[in-house]
A = this chain, B = another copy of it.
Amino acid sequence: MKIVLIGAGSVATNLGIALKGAGSEITQVYSRTEKSAKELAERLSTPYTADINEIKTEKDLYVISIKDSAIFSFIKKFNVRNSLVVHTSGTLPISIIENVAGKYGVLYPVQTFTKDRILNFKDIPICIEGNNKEVNRKLKEIANSISDKVFEINSESRKVLHIAAVFACNFTNHMYAIAENLLQNQNIPFEILHSLINETANKSILSDPANMQTGPAKRNDVNVIVDHLKILENEPGVKEIYESLSKSIQEMYREENTE
């Protein structure tokens, strides 16, 4: 399978390396930023370009992995009638690329990527959506070549999945970052939370997280909550988040506490 990568960010990098590892041929890398295109192309030992008009035509698959905000201007200038084109966005519907090719779809890996950390795709879920059954079948085959976890998910559900991923990844990481800041002010190394962070993640995977909730808000331990809020008096932003998340937890488990 001959593949052209459109984009050279963290998703394109990880996906490109995984697809190549599974036996596909990455025939070209395109990026608006020549430096990024060159960097990824070198990792994949393949040619690159920063000029849309030099993107090779008639390849089997074009994978568009560029920022949601940049994709619109790209697709206005791009057309490959006879190939399969996919984007990798969690948020954008399949329809945004309908004018780019006859066969089109989505290949959304549910993971957080960075360029310098190349992940094994085996356990990374890949959500697919095609514009017809044949495309669906083809996308399933491609996704299965790198991952054991392939899900058919439509654009509407994928968007909700993306919001769920924002909570499970982006907002979770922000919780870690706030914790880190609080510890820094006391000269306590963040390392002190590593074991707790791991265990919290492990538990959510062993059982379902709604059953695993612990802490003062879950116990409705008002004394501790008030005490914590007093200590956060000098950090109004953090205090506000502590308050609203505690309230949200108390509401989620209200029935248990009024038993």
Contacts and interface: CB of A to CB of B under 8 A. Distances in A.
B201 A198 contact: yes
B182 A216 contact: no
Nearest to A127: B192
A92 to B, nearest CB: 9
B192 A125 contact: yes
A170 B215 contact: yes
Interface string A190-205: 1111111111110111
Contacts of A170: 213-218, 249
A21 interface: no
25 contacts: A67-B221, A68-B223, A111-B199, A112-B196, A112-B200, A112-B203, A119-B199, A123-B195, A159-B228, A160-B182, A161-B192, A162-B228, A163-B231, A164-B183, A165-B193, A167-B178, A167-B179, A168-B197, A169-B197, A171-B241, A172-B197, A178-B248, A190-B209, A198-B201, A237-B248
Q: How many of these chains are in the complex?
A: 2
A124 interface: yes
A113 to B, nearest CB: 8
- Nearest 6 CB-CB pairs, A to B? A170-B215, A176-B209, A164-B179, A201-B201, A167-B179, A168-B179
Contact of A215 (B166, B210, B218): B166
A243 to B, nearest CB: 10
A25 interface: no
The dominant DSSP class at the A interface is helix
A245 interface: yes
Contacts of A164: 178-180, 182-183, 188, 193
Nearest to A216: B166
Contacts of A195: 110-111, 123-125, 149
Interface of A: 67-69, 91, 110-112, 114, 117, 119, 123-125, 127, 149, 151, 153, 157, 159-183, 185-186, 188, 190-201, 203-205, 208-210, 212-219, 221, 223-224, 227-228, 231-232, 237, 240-242, 244-245, 248-249, 251-252
